[in-house]
Amino acid sequence: MLPTFGFVAWMAGPIEMLLLLGVVGVVVVVVVTVVLLAVRRQGSPGASPNLVPCPDCGRLVSRAANACPGCGRPMTPTPGA
Ligand SMILES: [Zn+2]
């Protein structure tokens, strides 16, 4: 065919390899980011799972408490939640 066809085909090798490496790199970055976000979400729930903030005074109250020790607001126990 054309004399330049061989040269183009030879050039397509490294270029395709670079494109493949770029795609693989992007996929790796996305996977690592998703895994890190999932681990971080599990690692830091923000507060103790056994404590809930009082709607009135904002004090952290145990889920098992019947009333807020700060303001006396009746709390609804949510066991298992
Ligand atoms: Zn309270």
Q: Separation of 71 CA from ligand 1 center, angstroms?
A: 4
Q: Separation of 40 CA from ligand 1 center, angstroms?
A: 30
This prediction's pTM = 0.37
The pLDDT of residue 29: 95
Q: Where are the alpha helices (DSSP H) in 1-81?
A: 3-43
For the chain, domain boundaries: 49-81
Q: Separation of 47 CA from ligand 1 center, angstroms?
A: 17
pLDDT at 62 over 80: yes
Q: Separation of 41 CA from ligand 1 center, angstroms?
A: 28
Q: Separation of 73 CA from ligand 1 center, angstroms?
A: 5
What's the rounded mean pLDDT across residues 61-74? 92
Closest to 67 in 3D by CA, of 80, 52, 46, 81: 52
Highest mean pLDDT among 9-23, 35-49, 58-72: 58-72
